[in-house]
């Protein structure tokens, strides 16, 4: 990325014989919201801590705005950090917690009052100045932590699982609040999470981490609809992986015979050659039950289980070689266990993964 504001250049981090970040390259544009998503131990938090200055790279370089920062102490990097556990001072009021970074930077009293007031209003806590953290809800404490990260107008805001301790409803509200702040202030945000929905909801781009490397990086729709690897397809959202062999290439599509003998067409060619065994990713919500339109893939299946989820039904079907899942809306055809039925999906809605 030529307009990179943050750049990791072949960065590695090892703890003893264990490498947790492995020769990683990553560029982030100014004003971009990038989520680092992956399972525990995949290296995402370690990379964030190296950017913040709390860990040092074993090798490689980290730059911000074209300047190396990997040798600078944390307080000289002009970055706000929000942690999952809030990290507020329990003996200080809300005002004093938010003012702390400004006091450490030697700001004048008038500047502190002005900036703290602005920051608390920004996170809708203007009426909570004198309360202590213990007097606040989890969501309010996280807003205080966010105000403290923003109060000195940092170049970059780093967030490490900041919403992990909140209940579902509050978490979703905070997602929208942070997204709104990002848009209004033009913040550059690097966000670590293991929550797929959170990353899809909030990010400009998502980097999928696995064993210290980035398996794929792209916009939410690209990551979800066009996963490059089996790990990405299975990690973000729910998917069905159908195994089969490429038999031919025609009309810009691959013809694939599935392991159970049924044939489908796949629009993602990706340089595949006839005779190669592949895995085809199909999202459950892309599959319909019942008669389909012209040009659709159709598989004869038998319904083996139905689970009610309120707004949709999770239908498990047996397609001959293996079972897979269909997400049916309540308005769609209501199948019955044991019923023989057709499952259909578009060639454009399935994707070959490595």
pLDDT tens for 116-174 read: 999 998 888 888 888 999 998 888 888 898 899 988 888 899 999 888 777 888 888 88
| 138 shares a domain with 88 | yes
Q: What is the pLDDT of residue 171?
A: 83
In angstroms, what CA-CA distances link 15 with 8, 20, 104, 153, 194?
19, 7, 31, 33, 22
Q: What is the pLDDT of residue 330?
A: 64
| 64 shares a domain with 134 | yes
| 227 shares a domain with 251 | no
Which tokens hold the place of 266? 């796949």
Above 60 in pLDDT, residue 21? yes
Above 90 in pLDDT, residue 273? no
Q: HSE of 271 in the Cβ direction (CA atoms, 13 Å)?
A: 2
Mean pLDDT taken over the chain? 89
- Give the separation between CA 310 and CA 289, rounded to whole angstroms: 18
Q: What is the pLDDT of residue 331?
A: 64
Q: What is the pLDDT of residue 263?
A: 93
- 107 vs 219, which has greater pLDDT? 219
- Give the separation between CA 4 and CA 117, rounded to whole angstroms: 33
Do 233 and 353 form a contact (C-beta atoms < 8 A)? yes
| 156 shares a domain with 16 | yes
pLDDT tens for 316-333 read: 988 766 788 888 776 666
Q: What is the pLDDT of residue 188?
A: 95
Do 143 and 133 form a contact (C-beta atoms < 8 A)? no
| 60 shares a domain with 184 | yes
Instruction: Say which CATH number the domain at 283 has.
Output: 2.40.50.100
| 116 shares a domain with 14 | yes
- CA 265 to centroid of chain Cα atoms: 30
Q: Of all residues in the chain, what percent carry a pLDDT higher than 70?
A: 97
Q: What is the pLDDT of residue 314?
A: 87
- Give the separation between CA 88 and CA 68, rounded to whole angstroms: 30
End-of-domain residue from the set 233, 265, 291: 233
End-of-domain residue from the set 233, 253, 270: 233
End-of-domain residue from the set 233, 262, 282: 233
List of E strands, 1-145: 4-15, 18-29, 33-37, 59-64, 67-68, 79-83
| 246 shares a domain with 207 | no
- Give the separation between CA 68 and CA 61, rounded to whole angstroms: 7
Number of helical H runs and strand E runs in the chain: 8, 20
Kind of pairing between the strands at 79-83 and 156-160: parallel
| 285 shares a domain with 219 | no
Q: What is the pLDDT of residue 308?
A: 85
Q: What is the pLDDT of residue 100?
A: 92
Q: Which domain holds residue 330?
A: 240-353
- Give the separation between CA 286 and CA 111, rounded to whole angstroms: 54
Q: What is the pLDDT of residue 116?
A: 92
- 330 vs 279, which has greater pLDDT? 279
Q: Of all residues in the chain, what percent carry a pLDDT higher than 90?
A: 54
| 116 shares a domain with 9 | yes
Strand, helix or coil for residue 74: helix
Q: How many domains does the chain have?
A: 2
Handedness of CA 257, 258, 263, 264 (dihedral sign): negative
Please report which residue ranges of the chain form alpha helices under DSSP H.
44-52, 94-104, 109-122, 138-150, 168-185, 196-202, 220-225, 230-235
> What is the pLDDT averaged over residues 184-193?
92
Q: Which among 32, 31, 78, 23 is positioned nearest to 53, based on CA atoms?
A: 78
Which tokens hold the place of 24? 């990683």
- Give the separation between CA 299 and CA 74, rounded to whole angstroms: 57
Do 133 and 95 form a contact (C-beta atoms < 8 A)? no
Q: What is the pLDDT of residue 321?
A: 64
Is 328 buried (19+), middle (13-18) or exposed (0-12) by CB count in 10 A?
buried
Above 60 in pLDDT, residue 1? no
- CA 336 to centroid of chain Cα atoms: 36
What is the reported pTM?
0.89
- Give the separation between CA 337 and CA 217, rounded to whole angstroms: 40
In angstroms, what CA-CA distances link 178 with 154, 157, 181, 182, 278?
15, 11, 5, 6, 40
pLDDT tens for 202-245 read: 999 999 999 999 999 999 999 999 999 999 999 998 899 999 99
Q: What is the pLDDT of residue 123?
A: 85
| 203 shares a domain with 100 | yes
Q: What is the pLDDT of residue 265?
A: 94
Instruction: Say which CATH number the domain at 121 has.
Output: 3.40.50.300
- Give the separation between CA 271 and CA 274, rounded to whole angstroms: 10
| 83 shares a domain with 224 | yes
Q: Which helix (H) or strand (E) holds 344?
A: strand 340-345
| 166 shares a domain with 45 | yes
């Amino acid at each position: 990325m030529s307009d990179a504001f943050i750049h990791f250049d072949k960065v590695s981090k090892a703890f003893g014989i264990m490498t947790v970040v492995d020769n990683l390259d990553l560029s982030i544009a100014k004003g971009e919201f990038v989520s680092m998503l992956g399972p525990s131990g995949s290296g995402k938090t370690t990379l964030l801590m190296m950017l913040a200055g709390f860990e040092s790279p074993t090798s490689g370089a980290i730059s911000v705005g074209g300047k190396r920062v990997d040798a600078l102490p944390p307080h000289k990097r002009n970055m706000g950090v929000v942690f999952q556990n809030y990290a507020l001072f329990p003996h200080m009021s809300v005002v004093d917690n938010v003012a702390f970074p400004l006091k450490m930077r030697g700001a004048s009293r008038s500047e502190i009052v002005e900036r703290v007031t602005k920051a608390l209003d920004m996170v809708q806590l203007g009426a909570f100045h004198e309360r202590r953290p213990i007097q606040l809800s989890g969501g309010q404490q996280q807003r205080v932590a966010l105000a403290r990260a923003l109060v000195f107008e940092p170049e970059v805001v780093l967030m490490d699982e900041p919403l992990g301790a909140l209940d579902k409803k509050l978490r979703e509200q905070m997602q929208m609040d942070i997204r709104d702040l990002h848009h209004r202030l033009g913040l550059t945000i690097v966000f670590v999470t293991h929550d797929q929905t959170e990353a899809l909801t909030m990010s400009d781009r998502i980097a999928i981490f696995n064993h210290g490397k980035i398996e794929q990086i792209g916009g939410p729709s690209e990551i979800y609809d066009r996963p490059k690897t089996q790990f990405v397809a299975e990690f973000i959202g729910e998917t069905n992986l159908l195994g089969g062999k490429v038999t031919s290439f025609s009309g810009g599509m691959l013809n694939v015979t599935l392991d159970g003998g049924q044939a489908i067409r796949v629009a993602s060619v990706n340089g595949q050659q006839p005779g190669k065994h592949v895995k085809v990713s199909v999202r459950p919500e892309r599959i319909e039950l019942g008669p389909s339109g012209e040009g659709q893939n159709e598989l004869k299946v038998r319904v083996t289980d139905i689970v009610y989820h309120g707004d949709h039904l999770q239908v498990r079907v047996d397609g001959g070689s293996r079972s897979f899942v269909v997400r049916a809306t309540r308005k769609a055809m209501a199948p019955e266990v044991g019923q023989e039925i057709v499952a259909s999906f578009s060639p454009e809605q399935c994707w070959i993964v490595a």
